[in-house]
Amino acid sequence: MIGPAPGIVNDQMLGTWHIVATTLGFWRGRRDATATYAALSGPRWSDTLRFRKGEREHVLVGTDTAHADAPGRFAWRGNGWLAWCTSTWTFAAVAPDGAWAITWFSAATLRVTPEGMDIYSRERSLPPHLLTELLAQTEQLRPGLPEWRTIVQPGVDMAAYGLPTSLD
> Are 74 and 59 contacting, i.e. CB atoms less than 8 angstroms apart?
no
Residue 21 domain flag: yes
Give tens-digit pLDDT for 124-162.
888 888 888 888 888 888 887 767 666 555 555 556 655
Residue 136 domain flag: yes
Q: Which of 3-12, 23-32, 45-54, 60-69 has the lowest mean pLDDT?
A: 23-32
Residue 168 domain flag: no
Question: How far is 22 from 148, CA to CA, in rounded Å?
Answer: 6
Task: State residue 88's pLDDT score.
Answer: 93
DSSP H or E segment with residue 73: strand 73-78
Residue 33 domain flag: yes
Residue 146 domain flag: yes
For the residues of 5-27, what is the DSSP string, one character each?
PTT--GGGG-EEEEEEEES-GGG
Pinpoint the alpha helices (H) of the chain: 128-141
Task: State residue 115's pLDDT score.
Answer: 87
Residue 166 domain flag: no
Q: Is 23 exposed, middle or buried (0-12, 13-18, 19+ CB in 10 A)?
A: buried
CATH number for the domain harbouring residue 84: 2.40.128.20
First CA to last CA distance, the chain: 31
Task: State residue 111's pLDDT score.
Answer: 75
Q: What domain range is 121 assigned to?
A: 10-161
Question: How far is 150 from 25, CA to CA, in rounded Å?
Answer: 7
Residue 5 domain flag: no
Task: State residue 166's pLDDT score.
Answer: 47
Task: State residue 17's pLDDT score.
Answer: 97
Question: How far is 47 from 63, CA to CA, in rounded Å?
Answer: 5
Give the chain's domain count. 1
Residue 109 domain flag: yes
> In this structure, how many other beta carbons lie within 10 angstroms of the beta carbon of residue 50?
17
Give tens-digit pLDDT for 36-82.
999 999 999 999 999 998 899 999 999 999 999 999 999 999 999 88
> Are 20 and 153 contacting, i.e. CB atoms less than 8 angstroms apart?
yes
Q: Is 103 exposed, middle or buried (0-12, 13-18, 19+ CB in 10 A)?
A: buried
Task: State residue 76's pLDDT score.
Answer: 93
